Chains A and B, each alone.
Chain A
Amino acid sequence: MEAFILLALLSFLVLTAIAITRLTDLFAVVMLSGIYSLISALLFVVMDAVDVAFTEASVGAGISTLLMVSSLRLAGRYERPSRHNPILGFFVVLVAGSLLIYATLDMPSFGSINAPIHQYVAPHYIDDSMKEIGLPNIVTSVLASYRGYDTMGEVAVIFTAGIGVLALLSISRRRSVEREKTEHGRMHEQMILRIVSKALIPFILLFALYVQFHGDYGPGGGFQAGVIFAAAIILYAMLFGFPAAERVVNFSLVRLLSAIGVLIYGSVGVVSLISGENFLDYTALAADPVSGQHLGIMLIELGVGITVASVMMIVFFTFNARALQRKEKYL
Chain B
Amino acid sequence: MNVLGLYNYWVVIALMMTGFYIVIAHGNLIKKLVGLTIFQTSVFILYISMSTVTGGSAPILKEGITLYSNPLPHVLILTAIVVGIATTALGLALVVRINEAYGSIEEDVIQQKDDEV
Contacts and interface: CB of A to CB of B under 8 A. Distances in A.
Query: Taking the complex as a whole, does A directly touch B, i.e. does some CB pair lie under 8 Å apart?
Result: yes
Interface of A: 3, 6-7, 10-11, 13-14, 17-18, 20-21, 26, 29-30, 33, 36-37, 40, 43-44, 47-52, 55-56, 59-60, 63-64, 67-68, 71-72, 74-76, 79-80, 82-84, 86, 89-90, 92-94, 96-97, 100-101, 104-105, 107-113, 115, 117-118, 121-122, 125-126, 129-130, 136-139, 142-143, 147, 150-151, 154, 157-158, 161-162, 164-165, 168-169, 217-219, 223, 227, 308, 311, 315, 318-319, 322, 326
A315 B105 CA distance: 20
A157 B86 contact: yes
Nearest to B50: A117
A68 B62 contact: no
Interface of B: 1-2, 4-11, 13-22, 24-31, 33-35, 37-38, 41, 44-45, 48-54, 56-62, 67-75, 77-79, 81-90, 92-97, 99-100, 104-106, 108
Contacts of A129: 61
Contacts of B27: 79-80, 82, 84
Contacts of A109: 2, 4-6
Contact of B17 (A84, A96, A108): A96
Contacts of B7: 7, 10, 110
Contacts, number: 288
Given A68-B34, A89-B24, A169 B72 contact: no
Given A79-B26, A110-B6, A136 B88 contact: no
A142 B75 contact: yes
Given A17-B18, A47-B69, A56 B44 contact: yes
Contacts of B93: 71, 164-165, 168-169, 315, 318-319
A183 to B, nearest CB: 18
Contacts of B90: 161, 164-165, 168
Given A71-B93, A161-B83, A168-B90, 17 more contacts: A10-B8, A13-B11, A20-B38, A40-B44, A64-B37, A68-B34, A75-B30, A89-B21, A96-B17, A117-B50, A138-B68, A139-B60, A161-B87, A165-B93, A223-B79, A308-B82, A322-B96
B53 A111 contact: yes
B110 to A, nearest CB: 12
Nearest to A226: B82
Contacts of A79: 26-28, 30-31, 106
Contact of B86 (A82, A104, A138, A161): A161
Given A10-B11, A96-B20, A158 B50 contact: no
Contacts of B99: 74-76
Contacts of A11: 11
Nearest to A161: B86
A47 B34 contact: no
A129 B73 CA distance: 16
Contacts of B87: 161
Contacts of B71: 122, 125-126, 138-139, 142
